[in-house]
Chains A and B, each alone.
Chain A
C-alpha cells in the first residue's frame, strides 16, 4: 500500500498504487467488467448464429430434437436462475450498505440456486446419455427421427455445456465472495468484487433466458 494519503472520504485498504483514488479504481474495474461481458455476448452470439442457421436448414430435426428435452426441468432451472439473480442483486445492495450478515445470506442463497441448477442439469444430461442422446457421431438414440438430430444435440451440448461451465465458474467466484464477506472485507467504501461478479452472474442468467426458449421451446 502506498504511504501517501489523498484524504478521500471513501479510501479503503484495497486501493492499488496506480490509481489516484478509490473512485477511479472502481470505475476502471467496472469498465473492464463490461468489456469482458461484451466478449461473452459475442462468443455466445456466434453459437446462436450457427444454431439459427442450422435450424433454418433442418427445421424438422430441430422440432424432433427438442421433444427429447424436459420442459419442466428447463422451467425449474429458469426459475432457479432468475431467483439467483435476485438474491445476487440483494447481496450487492447489502454489501454496499454495510450489512454483513445480509450479504453473506444472500450470497449463500445465490450459491444454493446455482447449485440447484447444476443438479437438475446433471439429471437432464445423465438421462440423455442413458438414452444414447449424445452429440454428433456418438448419437445412438434408438427411437428414430431425422438424422440431423445429431447436429441439434451437438448444439445443445455445446451451448448448455459452455453455459454450465460459466455457472460453475460463477459458483466458485460467489463462494470466494462469501468467504470474503464473512471476513467483513466489504463495505460501502469497497464492494467492487461483489458488484462485478454480480454483473457477471446476471449475464450468465441472461444467456440462459435466451437458451431456454431456443432449445426447449422450438416450434
Chain B
C-alpha cells in the first residue's frame, strides 16, 4: 500500500535536481528516507557492522579450538559463541547482504527506474531489520543462546536462556526479508524502463528476482515455525516435544522447508553478481544469457523440494531419503550451467583483473568446491558417514562464505565507485584479496579432512590426533581476518578522498553506469529508453540515457 501519501519533498524535482544522493539531506532525513540508494547504503553499514560482530565470534570459536580441552572459554560459552556466530551470519548478514544492500542500491538503477515499487515499505523493511538486530543483541546480552542457529527441538524448548527472544528476533528479521522480496518482485514486474523486455534485463536482476520469489514463498513458513516454537516454550503445547506426544522431526521439516530455500536466498544473489562482473570485466557478450536467466528460476523452483537432505539421519523413511537425494542432484544442473556459461563468457574476452574480477574468479574456484561437496553430501549413503561432521561445516562455509560472501565482496568492489563516488586503492585491494583467498582456504580445507576423519561438528573438545589440522584452520582464520582488516583500511581511506570515480569505471553497458557516480537523487534526469542489451559488447556503445557520455 505504497500509494497513500503524496511524494515527500526531498523526492520532488526542484532544488535537489542535480545534487548527488549522498549529499542530499541531513542525518534525520537519511533515517526517514525512502530513497532506495540511501536505504541500500544504510543496510550496507548495518550489515558490515553485524559482519564484524559475527566475525569476532568466529575468531573466538577458532581460537578455542586451537588446542584440545579448554583454551580460552568454557564449553557453555563455546556453545553460545558458535550459536551467535551462526545466527548473526545467517539472519543478519548473509541473507540481507546482497539483496538488501547491493540489490536495493543497484536494482532500480539497472531497471532505469526512479525507485523500488514501494519506497515506504522499503524504509519499513529497513527499520524492521534494525529492530530484529536489536532484539537479537538483547538476547545475546541477557544470557545468550546455545541451540545452534537451527533451534532444533526438543533441545531448544527445554534449554535455559532467552531462546524465545532470539527466535522472535529471527521472526522479525523474516518480516524484513519478506517485505524486501515483495518489493523487488513488484519492481521487476512493473518498473522496467521502456524497451526493457524480460530478456533485456541484466542477469543481476534475474538473480535477485528469483531470490525475491523464494523470500516471499519460503519465509512465511519459517515465521510460523518460529511462532510455534515460541508457543511451545511459553505454553508447553508439545507439538515438537516427544515427551508431550509431539514430533521433533516435524520441526525439522518445517525448519528446512524454509531454511533450505534460504540457502538459495543466499547463493542466487551471489551468482547474480558474478553474472554481472564477469561479462563486464571480460568486455564480452554473455554466453548463454537465457540459459543463465532460466537457471536462476530453476534453482528457485528446485530449492523447495530438497529440504529432506538435511534429515537423512533424522528418521525419515528411506524412500523419502532417496527421493530427496535425487532431487538434490537436480540442483547441480542449473548450477553447472551457470558455471560453464561464466567460464565460456571469459573465453577470448579482454579480461581485466581488477578487484571485482579477482573476487569473481575466487568465487568460481570456491563455489566449484562448495557445490561439488554438496553433491557428496546429497548422496544418502555418503551423508550417513559425513552427517554432522566438519565436512558439512567446510561444505557450507565454502558455499555461504566462499561463494556468497566472496560474491558480495565482488559486488561491493564493483559498485563501490558508484555508491560512494570514489575509487579505492587497487593495489591494497589485491593484497587484501590475496589474504582472503589464502586465509579462507587455510581455514576450511583442513575442515574437509577433519570431517572425513570423523571430527564431529559443534564439539568443544577433540581427540589429540586432530590437533594439527585444527591449528592450521585457526591460523587460517587469522589470515582471513587480516584480509578483512586491510579491506576495511582501504575502503575507509577511499571515503576520505575527494570524489574521483568516473561514471563508468568498468565500461559496463547496464543502465546503472549511465548516471553519475554517485547518482543524483532521482537516478536519471530523464527516464532511460533502452537502446542496447545489457552485454552488447560486440556493438559500439550507445547510451540509453539521453546526454550521457562515457
Give A contacts to B, CB under 8 Å.
1-4, 13-20, 24-29, 31-33, 35-36, 38-40, 42-47, 49-50, 53-54, 57-58, 134-138, 147-148, 150-151, 154-155, 158, 162, 190, 192-193, 196-197
Contacts and interface: CB of A to CB of B under 8 A. Distances in A.
A18 B114 contact: yes
A210 B272 CA distance: 40
B250 interface: yes
A158 B228 contact: yes
B237 A150 contact: yes
Interface of B: 1-7, 11-13, 113-115, 117-119, 121, 178, 181-183, 185-186, 189-191, 216-221, 223-225, 227-228, 231-232, 235-239, 244-247, 250, 254, 527
Contacts of B183: 32
Contacts of A32: 1-2, 117-118, 121, 182-183, 186
Contact of A35 (B186, B221, B236, B245): B186
A176 B528 CA distance: 38
Contacts of B3: 14-16, 25-26, 29, 190, 192-193
A17 B114 contact: yes
Contacts of B247: 53-54, 57
B224 A43 contact: yes
A1 B7 contact: yes
Contacts, number: 155
Which 7 residue pairs are nearest across A and B when measured between Cβ atoms? A154-B237, A137-B236, A136-B235, A46-B224, A43-B220, A18-B114, A136-B237
A154 B117 contact: no
A2 B12 CA distance: 6
A15 B462 CA distance: 64
Contact of A162 (B6, B227, B232): B227
Most buried by A among B11, B218, B220: B220
Given A38-B217, A50-B228, A150-B238, 10 more contacts: A1-B7, A1-B12, A13-B6, A25-B3, A33-B1, A39-B178, A43-B220, A45-B221, A46-B228, A47-B228
A45 B11 CA distance: 40
19 contacts: A16-B7, A18-B191, A25-B3, A28-B190, A29-B1, A29-B3, A31-B185, A31-B186, A32-B117, A43-B223, A50-B228, A135-B237, A136-B235, A136-B237, A158-B231, A162-B227, A190-B3, A193-B1, A193-B3
Most buried by B among A28, A45, A138: A28
A32 B117 CA distance: 9
A15 to B, nearest CB: 7
Contact of B1 (A18, A135, A196): A196
B224 A44 contact: yes
B235 A42 contact: no
A28 B191 contact: yes
Given A2-B12, A17-B11, A32-B118, A151 B239 contact: yes
Contacts of A50: 228, 239, 250, 254
